[in-house]
Structure 1
Amino acid sequence: MSTPAHPSARTPWGRGVALGLVLAVVVSIIVLAFSWPAVTSEPRDLPVAITGPAEQLAMVEQAVTENAEGAVALTEVDDRDAAVDAIEGREVYGAVVLGQAPEVLTSSAASPVAAQLLGGIAAQLQQQAAQAAAAAGAPAPTVAVTDVVPLLDTDPRGAGMTAASFPLVLGGMIGGIAITMAIGGVWRRVAALLAYSVAAGLAIAGILQGWFAVLAGAYLLNAAAFGLSLLAIGATIVGFASIVGRPGIALGPVLFLLIANPISGAAMPREFLPAPWGEVGQWFPPGAGATLVRDLSYFPGADTTFPWLVLAVWAAGGLVLAAIGHFRSSGPLVIAESDETQPAAA
């Protein structure tokens, strides 16, 4: 018996070089996808509420425009209570309250980076108040900083909340790819995917909320958010594979890991991303899932209709693709008889 030739002896030189160049392009795209948001991120029209006497409003708005041009978008509200409502409803990231007792309201649960930016605005207000008081010969008021919606004591830097978005993408892809590779038959894949999404959603929420305590809110709602996020990604992969076959599996990582995940806004406010990518990212499961988990955990008063709908549409769309692929490729069912069921030879 002859010994098989070594693979290097059978592969043409040109094909090897071409493969190396293709892999270099793939790695470059991966590096670009994951580094681009961090390198280009900066505050862009971060919504912040402001309230107080008219003369102070004009002065502060001018100062913010001069010192942080384009970084903050101020929205006037009636009073402090209205500012707090806007923060808790996820309409703004913080607020500036002017008057006899100036105050800056932050929300580290919405974004520690945005809260740090608002702390810088509080320092500027304190400096202005000191200068005005010195000119008037009066004591300077202290600008208080109040964290209206703080992070949990078990997650003071928000690292756990940021990490909670990772299982959404990875778990959805693992489920969709593994089920597609291991299970034959579209409806069997759908059944396995539904079981996986429910069980994994309960498990992930249990680990992050019950064990690590980095999530708050209702456990079953958090589990539903994780489960629907996994289903939205996994069903899309199963649907792609049903339509175009095994090559469709590769579309999932490209779409969700390389495109949607970097613009999801999970690690930073979506306003920090170049327009319009921050808003575009909310139309994909990674962005909608991350926003939904944060809102359910910290902002029960926020309107979560949009992220729920985004996830539901992706999940339904994936299941529809799976059904289309099934009916398009279905034909007469042929059942091969096994040796045990065949009649014995005479």
Structure 2
Amino acid sequence: MSTATPSQPHTKWAAAALIGVVASVLLAVVVLAFLWPSKTSQTHNLPVGIAGPEASVTALKNAVGASGTFDFVSAGDRADAVRQIESRETYGAIVLGAGTTPPEVLTAPAGSAAAAQILTGVAAQLQAQVSQQVAAAGGNPAAVKVAVTPVVPLSSSDPSGAGLASASFPLAIGGMIGGIVISLLVVGAMRRLLAVAGFAVAAGLVIAFIMQTWFQYLQGDFLTNALAMGLTMLATSGFIIGCTSLLGRAGIAIGSVLTMFIGNPLSAAATPWQFLAEPWGAIGQFLVPGASGTLIRTLSYFPNADSSQQWWTLGGWAALGIVLTLVGHFRSRPGMHVPESTIEHPTEVRHAAV
């Protein structure tokens, strides 16, 4: 006698159609999350130093200030403009010479290849103006050259900066993978924290080895770069683990969405964050991908720059993950109680005392 297994009931037609529509909406959200920042990005509010005679500076500001491309920062002289670039206060500078001295454009390709390209275009415009002035004065235009000086160039192993910019996405994915795997496979809050600490240390050393020793995308001190990578991993994976401990498996989705679909598009890894629509560019710098990208670039090429905001941001996200993990752990613990069977009846206690 054969036993027939009951067939699973089919999904209703209306529900099937609705699920398909919801899936397409989710896809649209994902596409918009990655494409919207680049679509709305504009070349504006770029901090650029400017130095030179007051009349020349005022004339240049009036000529190019209306476009909104630059946010000029006054510099006392060329040395001051260089200091601003090296401390990441500006993305470059325009130094206007006195008298017949031609202007000079200072760039920082290591800070942003896009900003350096824009400033190189400004140098071409200045060259055309200077050539016209020299020709009108009866001189030789070919003898006057507007110099473009890269104050902070990229390394020869990553001349376009593509390697450094493309590291943002793998770092975000890596932190998510660590958080998800530990959340699913490790049971116990303290054990999860131990696992994520080990993951962060190992991942930081491995990624720094690949990006600095092997590919030579990173510069500077190896251990400091490894610490930055490890803290990035800890901030992302720790937050996902904390959300999971507090909310269950729904926390994995929340942590992943915040990292991949909000933090990563707003990280401005390939362009200055000032180019993103306000205030999203500034907000992105306080999320893990944005803070991590800025910190890694600063450690490699701008040792004189202040990176405290990035360190505190990553440390804050890591601490938040730890706190959420502990809160979820203690909230889920059952309250202590004494079983009724172990409680002696007051009358029995009295007789026993007698």
Q: Does TM, normalized by the shorter one, top 0.5?
A: yes
How far apart are the structure 1 equivalents of 2:6 and 2:132? Answer: 85
How far apart are the structure 1 equivalents of 2:165 and 2:250? Answer: 31
Q: Would you say the 8 A contact 2:40–2:277 is kept in 1?
A: yes
How far apart are the structure 2 equivalents of 1:145 and 1:193? Answer: 47
Q: Does 1:80 align with 2:71?
A: no
Q: Does 1:228 align with 2:231?
A: yes
Unaligned runs of 5+ residues in structure 2 are 337-354
Q: TM-score, normalised by structure 1?
A: 0.92
1:339 equivalent in structure 2:
none
Report the 3-state secondary structure (helix = DSSP H, G, I; strand = E; otherwise coil) of the residue aligned with 1:225. helix
Unaligned runs of 5+ residues in structure 1 are 334-346
1:138 equivalent in structure 2:
139
How far apart are the structure 1 equivalents of 2:14 and 2:304? Answer: 61
How far apart are the structure 2 equivalents of 1:59 and 1:4? Answer: 84
Q: CA shift at 1:268, angstroms?
A: 1.1
| Structure 1 moving runs of 4+ over 4 Å | none
Report the 3-state secondary structure (helix = DSSP H, G, I; strand = E; otherwise coil) of the residue aligned with 1:197. helix
Q: Does 1:163 align with 2:166?
A: yes
Query: Residue 182 of structure 1: which of 165, 181, 185 is its match?
Result: 185
Q: Does 1:2 align with 2:4?
A: yes
Q: Does 1:199 align with 2:197?
A: no
Q: Percent same amino acid among aligned pairs?
A: 50
Q: Does 1:249 align with 2:263?
A: no
Q: CA shift at 1:247, angstroms?
A: 1.2
Report the 3-state secondary structure (helix = DSSP H, G, I; strand = E; otherwise coil) of the residue aligned with 1:216. coil
Residue deviations 1:191-248, cap 9 Å, x none? 1000001000100010011111111111111111111011111111111111111111
Letter in 1 for 2:21: L
1:52 equivalent in structure 2:
52
Report the 3-state secondary structure (helix = DSSP H, G, I; strand = E; otherwise coil) of the residue aligned with 2:121. helix
How far apart are the structure 2 equivalents of 1:98 and 1:139? Answer: 20
Q: Which moved more, 1:302-311 or 1:15-24?
A: 15-24
Letter in 2 for 1:97: V
1:340 equivalent in structure 2:
none
Q: TM-score, normalised by structure 2?
A: 0.90
Q: Does 1:95 align with 2:97?
A: no
How far apart are the structure 2 equivalents of 1:253 and 1:221? Answer: 27
Q: CA shift at 1:123, angstroms?
A: 0.7
1:300 equivalent in structure 2:
303
The alignment yields a C-alpha RMSD, in angstroms, of 1.3
Q: CA shift at 1:139, angstroms?
A: 3.2
Q: CA shift at 1:37, angstroms?
A: 1.4
Q: CA shift at 1:137, angstroms?
A: 1.8
In the comparison of the two structures, how many residue pairs are matched? 329
2:325 equivalent in structure 1:
322
Letter in 1 for 2:152: V
Report the 3-state secondary structure (helix = DSSP H, G, I; strand = E; otherwise coil) of the residue aligned with 1:283. coil
